[in-house]
Structure 1
């Protein structure tokens, strides 16, 4: 055996052996106890371990950190490394995020703080410096208000999840810096009014979900500037009327849901009725609640003669693309709105959870097919150890073998296996 090893070290395989030794780090970074680490991309998964705080020592250059389903209460500056691209902290006990916690995470692309039921407020500078952030999740917390500059500087943001909070009001220009935002989820809050400039700056917005609020009024210019909006959900609110001018500002609108509102089909409905006569969008039913003689009728099916006693309506611009008008409740899949949906964080959430206390309403309760044509689902990330792209190399906690796996050295190892005596 020793003679064979001596001959090997004097032969050409010695170069491969030297390469193998050089490829191994002298000191292997440590994977936190109870966590699982992955080599490529550098990932640390510490989910569902009842941690009350973020582990003190994390491998340097970690790009993805998964801390969901723990008991973490607060976050402080200096906790996270600057190499992070993805940070999941959903379903914890977060109540406090100290200013500056994320300030040095300039590379961060996705931040999930959702489902933290004790998170009631945010510092105005919470997200300062996150210029590359593309997806921000703040769903299912206890937020009743947002600082006016909370989203300032988030110029790369594309997905913003604010659903199922307790938001009462959205101030004008709250989203003014979010020119690249495409998805805005605001459903399941307590909003009552949409003011004139509430959505100003959202020139790239594609989907706006406002269902399940308490909306009673929409300013006639509330949607001005949303030239790319294709999906608008306003169902399950308290709207008795809606200005036709507001919808006329949406030239790309394709899918509109207005059902489950107490529509008044009197003279107040004439501008909305007139818009429907010109627009060609896929729409839900718009069932009249008043006056009694029109209760149960669809506002869109009313005739000009039904408004004979009303003053002349101001002309409105037609909105929406040329599509057939339909009352079907299965016309809201993304497949019809520009092809198959992209792989993005919105695939991980349903817009209305199955346990929603509102429950079915006359057989017209929204389903996943209604929303996304089947590209939704309950939060599938909860059971995953290595979500997203496959993590081919598992790093067992604490051992130097976790940093093996380089193709060159492994190939060289094959050369070290003797083929004969």
Structure 2
């Protein structure tokens, strides 16, 4: 294909990406499929035990092409690459000091793949398609942190392109590095028959290792070790973890598998999913958390569970989603207005009839109490509580309900 033809193909792919990520996509699953087109994402999620969807097949197809044509996706399809090339066209030439730097991206891929085997793909969030996808979540952002969480990735890539030229694409990008490794693997397989031929000087073709075995071993070992450490930290914090969207997997795996792509935040019609500002520690920074200040998780919606490209949120139908326990509500009787004005806002709001007025014979008084067997932590009670800035009824992670609370 001529260079002019390649430009037209890249422009077409870029426009298709914009359509898929627009606020009014032509296909409801388009943003999920867009991220899954990344071979880096698909391989990482499959190794971590994720499910193969339509988008995964697309990512696997691009991976198969990379076995034959190294960096074909970068040259013809990648919308982020075209965007960065456009930035290069309007800036002053940047230095090329990085050309002697090691292939950082390959180490990122190996660390992530090794961690994925243990269910914790360490750097899955570094995928460039996820960065671009997240930038299109900015129109749903509420607050400065949400805006920064949406734009940080693509802004960093643009700044890196301005200051250091093609450093990201050539040395850091894990999607490009995945194609490099696949291309080397394909080349190794094609040249396997020559592995026993002796070259001048006594070297064999086998001696031309496709990648340095020692470095690969160190990267894989480091990935396994870091993944184990991250899982232990997550397990230790699980009882105090923030509320996650419905369908979230176990906390010690969620923070690794979540890509911070913004799909769940963008899909939520209630606007209750926000980026984590550090509540779950460094490992969970910017991952989605649920807050019920202004609205709740509706019992007629399961949108967030259908758009996750990595499997951090399991795909649930409406019945499964309503059975999923986000947390457990608890009533603070010292803040509750029941004793003052007989307020029953939480009782009336609960769609699952999990809150009832309970009569205590010993204390000879009544108060709202939560039935944990019926409560799934939807937050309807918390969102309507009129007690002020400190809500009398609040949803907590299951197992972390304060002692002495009513329910």
Shorter-normalised TM range = under 0.3
Structure with bigger gyration radius = 1
* Structure that is richer in strand per residue: 1
Q: What is the TM-score when the length of structure 2 is the normalising length? A: 0.22
Bigger RCO of structures 1 and 2 (CA < 8 A, at least 6 apart): 2
Q: Normalized against structure 1, the TM-score is what?
A: 0.22
